[in-house]
Amino acid sequence: MTKKSMVPAQQDPSQTALARRDFLIKSGAVIGTAAYALGNSDLVNAETTNIAPIDPSQPLEVPQWTRSLGAPTASPYGKPSTFETKAVRNLYPGLKDTMSAYSTSPLQELDGIITPNGLFYERHHAGVPQIDPAQHRLVIHGLTENALIFTVDEIRQFPAVSRVHFMECSGNPSFLPPWGKTAAEVSGLVSCAEWTGVTLKTLLDETGLKPQAKWIIAEGADGAAMTRSIPIEKCLGDVMVVYSQNGERLRPEQGYPLRLFVPGYEGNTHIKWLRRLHVTDAPAYSREETAKYTDLMADGKARKFSFVMECKSLVTYPSGTQKLTRKGLHEMRGIAWSGHGKITRVDVSVDGGNTWTQARLQEPILTKALTAFRAPFEWNGQELMIMSRAIDETGYVQPMLEQLIDERGKVSFYHNNSVQPWRVSSSGEVTNGRA
């Protein structure tokens, strides 16, 4: 026998505690299970005195919620704690109208890489239609061998795939002030989910394609009838027609019951409430790919079909309006993503970009998905200028804003993927480093 196994069971602290809890529960002394670790006198108090509000300076007092029953089981759809009042979507700064509007994901409140469905960013050009899935149809026609009409149920019967991908609006954020206060205000038009649906290729295999097929024009069923043209190679690659998001059916805000998902491409191409895919030999040159979602350069020419969301990262802790409340060891946290593939490295700086160290990438590291990063740092009351820069598998390095402006001028609006600085003051307050 080893020395360890000779230790009597009741001397193992966890065993002792469990036995004691069982005894107390049997003897009717406890209501809440956590109470066993406390003295008998506390338990007697809990039973005989009126329940007082908890005093945070007495953390070992049995709290009020331990002395009573909780809420009943099986609320039909679970909700976050009512104390989590900051984890909410907000209208994009400056917007007043809610119909053609954006709302941001509260990035500074989120952990990991999956955005909860209720906090996914929104961009609607004509509000959120309420679509009855039984009445909804998807038409695929044009330069196909057969034109086909699918019900939502029929689409769900094809072999499916589930993939984790980010989606980002290309106006996230613009090149000009006012700069936002929080991470959400700066860059909250990005979110990430596990999407389930059929690959568009599966449906195109059903319709067949004529040799002249070069583009597919996707159209939404909302009041904006949002229309975008996607090159056929992309459509036969990783494009999906999705019906689920993080395990449940798409939210109305995200395109219920069907949405086009175009991994790595700007959010505008991910047509929601998808009703029509028109296979053609040329793009539609719709409003959304001419007047909007083109990039006017300093020389007066515009880039068109600038589809791919380039490599970007953002520190979400510490970030604007947060506060460091203790000195010593901290962890810088953030998200990085690239429409070209996987994130290979994230560098972080606490001195405004003079020196950089490599952050640790948190697994999983998935293609065209948010990747979380972490980097420890010491804070002892000195001022810091915190920032991150991401590098993707093509070797592309996230640029500074000055570099982007040098290249594109100041009239450009979309595709600002520049490095975002946060200033930490000597009192620990965090503010936008651009302001």
Ligand X SMILES: Nc1nc2c(c(=O)[nH]1)N[C@H]1C(S)=C(S)[C@@H](COP(=O)(O)O)O[C@H]1N2
**Residues near Mo ion, by CB under 5 A:** 123, 169, 267-268
Per-residue binding string, ligand X, 11-30, x by CB under 6 A, is --------------------
Contact 184, 219 (CB under 8 A): no
Q: Which of 199, 229, 254, 319 binds ligand X (CB under 6 A)?
A: 254
Q: Residue 239 interacts with ligand X (CB under 6 A)?
A: no
Instruction: Return the closest-CA partner of residue 264 out of 140, 155, 396, 374.
Output: 396
Q: Residue 169 interacts with ligand X (CB under 6 A)?
A: yes
Instruction: Return the closest-CA partner of residue 240 out of 137, 148, 164, 293.
Output: 164
CB of 293 to ligand X, least distance (A): 8
Reduce the DSSP state of residue 45 to 3 states and report it.
helix
**Size of the residue set binding ligand X (CB under 6 A):** 19
- Choose between 215 and 273: whose C-beta lies nearer to ligand X: 273
Neighbours of 1 (CB within 10 A): 5
What's the maximum distance between 2 C-alpha atoms anywhere in the chain? Answer: 84
Of Mo ion, ligand X, none, which one does residue 108 interact with (CB within 5 to 8 Å by kind)?
none
CB of 178 to ligand X, least distance (A): 21
Instruction: Give the DSSP per-residue string, 174-226.
Output: -SSSPPPSSHHHHH-SEEEEEEEEEEHHHHHHHH-B-TT--EEEEEESSTT--
Neighbours of 411 (CB within 10 A): 13
Of Mo ion, ligand X, none, which one does residue 273 interact with (CB within 5 to 8 Å by kind)?
ligand X
- Choose between 35 and 260: whose C-beta lies nearer to Mo ion: 260
d(CA 314, CA 432) in angstroms, rounded, equals 12
Contact 199, 155 (CB under 8 A): no
- Choose between 288 and 347: whose C-beta lies nearer to Mo ion: 288
CB of 266 to Mo ion, least distance (A): 7
Among positions 294-313, residues that touch ligand X (CB under 6 A) are none
Reduce the DSSP state of residue 117 to 3 states and report it.
helix
Q: Which stretch binds ligand X (CB under 6 A): 207-215, 219-227, 307-315, 401-409?
A: 219-227
Contact 42, 36 (CB under 8 A): no
Q: Residue 286 interacts with ligand X (CB under 6 A)?
A: no
Reduce the DSSP state of residue 151 to 3 states and report it.
strand
Q: Which of 113, 242, 271, 369 binds ligand X (CB under 6 A)?
A: 271
CB of 245 to ligand X, least distance (A): 9
Q: Residue 272 interacts with ligand X (CB under 6 A)?
A: yes
Q: Residue 110 interacts with ligand X (CB under 6 A)?
A: no
Binding site for ligand X (CB under 6 A): 120-125, 169, 220, 222, 224, 226, 253-254, 267-268, 270-273
